[in-house]
Structure 1
Amino acid sequence: MLYPKIGIRPVIDGRWGGVRESLEMQTMSMAKNAAALISENLRYPDGTPVQCVIGCTTIGGGAEAAAVADQFSTENVVATLSVTPCWCYGTETFDMDSHTIKAVWGFNGTERPGAVYLAAVMAAHAQRGLPAFSIYGHDVQEADDTSIPDDVGEKILRFARGAVAVGWMKNKAYVNLGGVSMGIAGSYCDVSVMQKFFGLRAEWVDLTELLRRITLGIYDTEEYSSALVWIKANCHEGTDKNAGKEFPTVITKSKVVPADKDWEFIAKMTIVIRDILFGNPRLKELGWHEEALGKNAVLGGFQGQRSWTDWLP
């Protein structure tokens, strides 16, 4: 799987002749520490540690900024964290890729503090219309202090969480199962919002597709059997408050799935919906090639009130 990654940009004072050379180790150390903090504390939805890519060089000017940008373009980097302990050349070193989410961590130290660069580059980001998050420690650290203060660490992790969430959603789909129910505005999927704000493709699947797959057996029967075993072991039914009550014919006739078959139907329905959203290579083995692909979804919504739930589980 191609995971969305966070690129760490070690930005440095570009003046050779003693200045840059003295800062190389400290700057790259900041980048490595930031990457370790993120990977050790954050996970993707599947439990895999969040991956970071450290720039192939410290960035002292436009040429090196371009080299790192080229590196990141092959790594599915969706966000960048620029780190520096010192003054750097503002617009010559900043991330100007309009498609990445950006943050800058300026080291609050006793000499050559990154605060000056942070202020300058944040002004540049605002001027160029490229928003960036500003990260700066409350307390002054010794120049040789390589630790990440708690407040800085929390800001970095907050940024990374949001960036990974955006990257995880990017170019995936939100799948509407069914349509608007009972005129409920919350059931309406605004395509423009999904695309412009979340980078999601909005798709729709009619609920008859669920019935088709259940009726024709377009699901993994082995997985279905395993699901039933798990349900019986873990889903304990409570008291039926409707037992013994009399209901109008319109309600009793609508109960087409016997009560003792509800769990079987629900298990099939759950597996089918999962396959629609995320795909299932097992279906290809069974001859259902299109169905095996899924919708490349990150999530979906079931709009089934009345049209579905009046007669089906």
Structure 2
Amino acid sequence: MPGTTFPAIGIRPLIDGRRRGVRESLEDKTMQLAHDVAELISERVTYPDGSPVRCVIADTTIGGVAEAAATSEKFRDLNVGAEISVKASWDYITQVLDLDPTIPHAIWGFKGTERPGAVTLAAAAAAYNMLGIPCYGIYGHDVQDLDQSGLTEEVVDKILRFVRAALGVALMKGRSYLSIGTVSMGIAGCRVPEAFLLDFLGMRSEYIDMIEIDRRIAQGIYDHEEYETAITWARENLQIGENRNPGHNRATEEEYEEQFDYCIKMTLIARDLMDGNPRLAEMGFEEEAGGHNAIAAGFQGQRQWTDYKPNGDLMETLLTTSFDWRGKRPDRVFATEADAGNAISMLFNSVLTHRPQLFSDVRTYWSPEAVKRVTGHELSGVAAGGFIDLRNSGATTLNGTGRKTDEDGNPIIKHWWEITEEDIRNDLSATTFHAATHEYFPGGGFSTHFATRGGMPVTASRLNFVKGLGPVLQISEGWTIELPEEVRTAIEDRTAPPWTGSSSRSSSGCRPPRWAWPSPRTGSAARYLRPLVLPLRELDVHPARVLRIPVGEAGVVGARGIHRLVLGVLAHHVGGLEYARGG
């Protein structure tokens, strides 16, 4: 999506419409609040391409219905996807509010004593509640003088929190989730929640059979020049690791070469299916050139495809990584096994942070006693209470290696526009690609293998659907940890060696070292995954509303119901939780 088409944030300065000196005395202050908020947003929040968020301010202060209508028309013309109303006085509530139920709303009430303050904010909130339109209220803690900006630290925090989440909602609206294939191995999360996507997020659900990938390869419906560039880059930069298939299950070198070439073509075609590609129209394939306008997608793979064709691991890794043969570029949300619940979780984190998302399976909880018994090693630090062993089934973003660092040398996951050539080299040098385990993937393919550096704060999330309750978002915080090599190897080798060695999709795949979660009470590493569970309500689903509740304020559940998590990075101050770094 080019930067010029990204949705803007609208700023609506609301004012007491009475003339004869009342409105006139408030004009400068009210409009200044609008400009201050717009400047704050453009300086502190970016679009997915790294450019500053565009703000659109009403042409005049809004004191009545006519000005409210004129502002709404302007906002529609300029692609405003969310709005913040600012006010320093009483106003005529429903005459001046934006009552569009399809976009997120917030109201900031300047906390002064010269004019009615909290009463007008409360009246606006009551009106929105009565009409069933969600609104995010912003009000400071300390009284301000009229000549102060009112942008105290907590007000700034709330405004930025709302804007990041509201922008995420606007970015998803009107886009598609593309399911390539159907349900993998009976996993319920692969069933696309069409009603949720449409009613909650304003998104389409698109479907295409996996055979379309094979058709396009067979008929040459991809950019052949780009393919030559891509395959050359892949052969020069992707390290092929040990093949742990026994001799009788190994393909020939020629066959592995063919599989590798096929996987690169799969990557090009999956991208074209999501985004479209004008080059295809130049080649005579006008229909295929259009794509599906997909902001997220998933690939079924198992088993109908992988019993016959190379698996999708290499494709999934490259699509979710923020670099490839073209250099650095925006990463995509692309789910293993077409797990739509995970794709949507990754999408939430992606639009909030504009950082790559790491998809992982929950393998097991390792207690300190079990680690000691099996390896002789005694856990300490954040892992003193044990850890959750999370490993994906063979594919995840290369940005998850933790080889990128901040200015203090701490491992981080960077925005795509911040990465350097050295970062790319470090990620690639930390990763190997292994021939898939034949018993599970007769069609072949390659799976991604790396170990994430320890010390990154992370957030795990998962969207589930519960009968009688609806969509539920589970969130938990933790850290990556590193174990001594012999300890890690002992733990990994408890899984069938061909899996861990080849990093096939049914085993360790990408190997984040381990993840430890803090106990909400003690701050030490928890014995069990203790996520925050938040039901989502229709019409009240933008992440600012969902994520503003700190961990520990709501009930927690065990990990039994969570088989798979998205390890997402949330930016500073998103949702009331501090996420300084992470992946």
User: Do both proteins adopt the same fold according to a TM-score greater than 0.5, normalized to the shorter chain?
Assistant: yes
The CA deviation at 1:225 is: 2.1
Q: Residues 106 and 113 of structure 1 are in contact (CA less than 8 Å); yes or no, is this contact kept in structure 2? A: no
Distance change in 2, residues 1:302/1:130 (3 Å) = same
Q: Residues 121 and 137 of structure 2 are in contact (CA less than 8 Å); yes or no, is this contact kept in structure 1? A: yes
Q: Residues 104 and 135 of structure 1 are in contact (CA less than 8 Å); yes or no, is this contact kept in structure 2? A: yes
Does residue 297 (structure 1) correspond to residue 294 (structure 2)? The answer is: yes
In structure 2, the residue matched to 1:277 is 274
Q: Give the SS at the match of 2:106.
A: strand
Q: Deviations over 1:156-215 (max 9, x none)?
A: 111111211111111211110011111111111122122111111111111110001111
Output the aligned Cα RMSD: 2.0
Q: Residues 173 and 298 of structure 1 are in contact (CA less than 8 Å); yes or no, is this contact kept in structure 2? A: yes
In structure 2, the residue matched to 1:45 is 48
In structure 2, the residue matched to 1:27 is 30
1:241 to 240, 244, 253: 244
In structure 2, the residue matched to 1:178 is 181
In structure 2, the residue matched to 1:157 is 160
Q: Give the SS at the match of 2:264.
A: helix
Cα distance in structure 2, aligned partners of 1:230 and 1:291 = 25
Q: Give the SS at the match of 1:152.
A: helix
Q: Which region of structure 1 is more displaced relative to structure 2, 232-241 or 282-291?
A: 232-241
2:93 to 77, 90, 93: 90
Write out aligned runs for 1:1-313 (5 A).
Answer: 1=2, 2-112=5-115, 114-146=117-149, 148-242=151-245, 244-247=246-249, 258-311=255-308, 312=310, 313=445
Structure 2 unmatched runs, 5+: 311-444, 446-583
The CA deviation at 1:142 is: 1.8
Q: Normalized per residue, which structure has more helix?
A: 1
Say how many residue pairs are matched. Answer: 307
The CA deviation at 1:113 is: 5.2
Q: Deviations over 1:227-253 (max 9, x none)?
A: 2233234322332222x4444xxxx68
Cα distance in structure 1, aligned partners of 2:95 and 2:174 = 30
The CA deviation at 1:256 is: 11
Q: Which amino acid aligns with 1:187?
A: C
Q: Residues 11 and 84 of structure 1 are in contact (CA less than 8 Å); yes or no, is this contact kept in structure 2? A: yes
The CA deviation at 1:216 is: 1.4
Q: Deviations over 1:113-132 (max 9, x none)?
A: 53221111111111122221
Cα distance in structure 1, aligned partners of 2:283 and 2:141 = 60
Structure (1 or 2) with the larger CA radius of gyration: 1
The CA deviation at 1:154 is: 1.5
Cα distance in structure 2, aligned partners of 1:224 and 1:44 = 29
Q: Deviations over 1:52-80 (max 9, x none)?
A: 11111101111211111111121222211
Q: Which amino acid aligns with 2:67?
A: E
Bigger relative CO (Cα 8 Å, ≥ 6 apart): 1
Q: Give the SS at the match of 1:86.
A: coil
Q: Give the SS at the match of 1:78.
A: strand
Query: Structure 2 length normalisation: TM-score?
Result: 0.50
Distance change in 2, residues 1:290/1:150 (3 Å) = same
Q: Which amino acid aligns with 1:150?
A: E
The CA deviation at 1:147 is: 5.3
In structure 1, the residue matched to 2:315 is none
Cα distance in structure 1, aligned partners of 2:161 and 2:262 = 41
Cα distance in structure 1, aligned partners of 2:44 and 2:243 = 45
Distance change in 2, residues 1:204/1:166 (3 Å) = same
Cα distance in structure 1, aligned partners of 2:145 and 2:188 = 56
Q: Deviations over 1:121-160 (max 9, x none)?
A: 1111111222211011122222111252121112111111
Q: Give the SS at the match of 1:258.
A: helix
Q: Residues 110 and 117 of structure 2 are in contact (CA less than 8 Å); yes or no, is this contact kept in structure 1? A: yes
Cα distance in structure 2, aligned partners of 1:199 and 1:4 = 14
Distance change in 2, residues 1:75/1:138 (3 Å) = same
Q: Residues 107 and 113 of structure 1 are in contact (CA less than 8 Å); yes or no, is this contact kept in structure 2? A: no
Q: Give the SS at the match of 1:260.
A: helix
Q: Residues 179 and 304 of structure 1 are in contact (CA less than 8 Å); yes or no, is this contact kept in structure 2? A: no
Distance change in 2, residues 1:263/1:170 (3 Å) = same
The CA deviation at 1:26 is: 1.2
Query: Structure 1 length normalisation: TM-score?
Result: 0.92
Q: Which region of structure 1 is more displaced relative to structure 2, 164-173 or 293-302?
A: 164-173
